Structure 1
Amino acid sequence: MKLTEGTEIDDFLFLTKNGNCESFRSQLKRNFTAVIFLRHLGCGMSQLDMLKYRDAYKFLKEQGIEILMVIQGTEAAVAERTAKLGIPFTVIADPEQELYGHFNIPSSESMRQLVYGVSEDKLLEFDYYGIECQRFEGNELQLQATIVVDRKGQVVLSHYSENISDVPSPSELYQMLQAVPVRS
């Protein structure tokens, strides 16, 4: 079942980069928590989204928005890459795609559909960030999703991507959340 506005997200456990097991619900300390499902560490678009959220993280936190990302890859690879990139938020390694499956994050039907309608603006940002696409990891046809929940775990925003570049930017996410009332 896809997560839609008004539904409650299930709790789940994950390993942090220092090896601790955490409950998702224990992370819901801000007005909103965005769980952004990306593709894999070798994907240029996923790298770009991760870096853009890194650069906007301080601003988003000040606005009451926490960021968590889920990405295919082993815990060791994710910990190494996020440390190298200076990623300040939690990135959950999901090498077996258990969370993708649990939350019904679909895969594209084909490589052609995955790249159809890709944002040329996002492709131009690869140079700015020095991004190079790398080897495939996991499910190469995996699509992304952005799910935002409030402090109680209720979904307030649900965006399932149509193609490889269809992830809201930090500023787009902030703008979308301006219309959502804050519940305590």
Structure 2
Amino acid sequence: MAYTIDTLAPDFSATLVNGEAAQLTEMIKTQSVCVIFLRFLGCPLTRLRLAELEKEIEKYEINELKLIVVFESTVARTEKYMTRKGLTMDIIVDEQRKLYDLFDVQPGGLKTMLNPNMLKKAGEATIKGHMHGAFEGNELQLPAAFIINKEQKFSYVNYGEHPADAVATDSILLNMTA
């Protein structure tokens, strides 16, 4: 079931790559939470979006919004990548896809891979040096973004229509009703 605005968000607990616990009901006591689902760490589209998000962390903080990024990978590979790229954001690796399933973030089909916008964004990622790494997740995975407010309800929901359809930070913040 795809979620919609004003519906109750499912509670979850997970461990961030840095070892800290992340429990939704605890995090929303102090601020709204933005959960962004990407594909997998080896994907150039994920790597491009991580670089963009790292530059935009302050925008989330200014808007009192805790940013959590979820993707498929291993903790060891993610720690190594974060160190190499200087990433400081809160990341959850979801190898078993439990959060993807909980939030109903589904893979697309072959047709979504051929979307012209996806092909354009993949080219942009490659030109910016984000080459394909290890194949460690679902190649057809679609992105998604959610804002969960202090009442544990969704105030923003976006399910991507193709693999490169990761919503921009400014669009998330513009539509924020937390």
Task: Tell me the TM-score normalized by structure 2.
Answer: 0.89
2:45 partner amino acid:
M
- Residue in structure 2 matched with residue 58 of structure 1 by the alignment: 58
Kindly report which structure 2 residues correspond to 1:95-110, keeping only aligned pairs within 5 A, or say none: 95-110=95-110
User: Post-superposition shift, 1:4?
Assistant: 1.0
Structure 1 gaps of 5+ residues are none
Structure 2: distance between partners of 1:39 and 1:32: 23
* Structure 1 pair 73–19 and aligned structure 2 pair: CA distance change class (3 A): same
Structure 2 gaps of 5+ residues are none
- Residue in structure 2 matched with residue 159 of structure 1 by the alignment: 158
- Residue in structure 2 matched with residue 137 of structure 1 by the alignment: 136
Partner-residue secondary structure (3-state), 1:141: coil
Contact 1:107 1:143 in 2 (8 A): yes
Identity of aligned residues (%): 22
Alignment size in residue pairs: 177
User: Post-superposition shift, 1:160?
Assistant: 0.5
Structure 1: distance between partners of 2:29 and 2:84: 27
User: Post-superposition shift, 1:65?
Assistant: 2.1
- Residue in structure 1 matched with residue 70 of structure 2 by the alignment: 70
Partner-residue secondary structure (3-state), 1:167: coil
- Residue in structure 1 matched with residue 18 of structure 2 by the alignment: 18
Structure 2: distance between partners of 1:27 and 1:3: 20
Deviations, residues 71-109 of structure 1 (Å, cap 9, x unaligned):
001122222222322222211010111111122111112
Task: Tell me the TM-score normalized by structure 1.
Answer: 0.86
1:7 aligns with 2:31: no
Contact 1:118 1:164 in 2 (8 A): no
CA RMSD of aligned residues (A): 2.0
Contact 2:160 2:166 in 1 (8 A): yes
Kindly report which structure 2 residues correspond to 1:38-49, keeping only aligned pairs within 5 A, or say none: 38-49=38-49
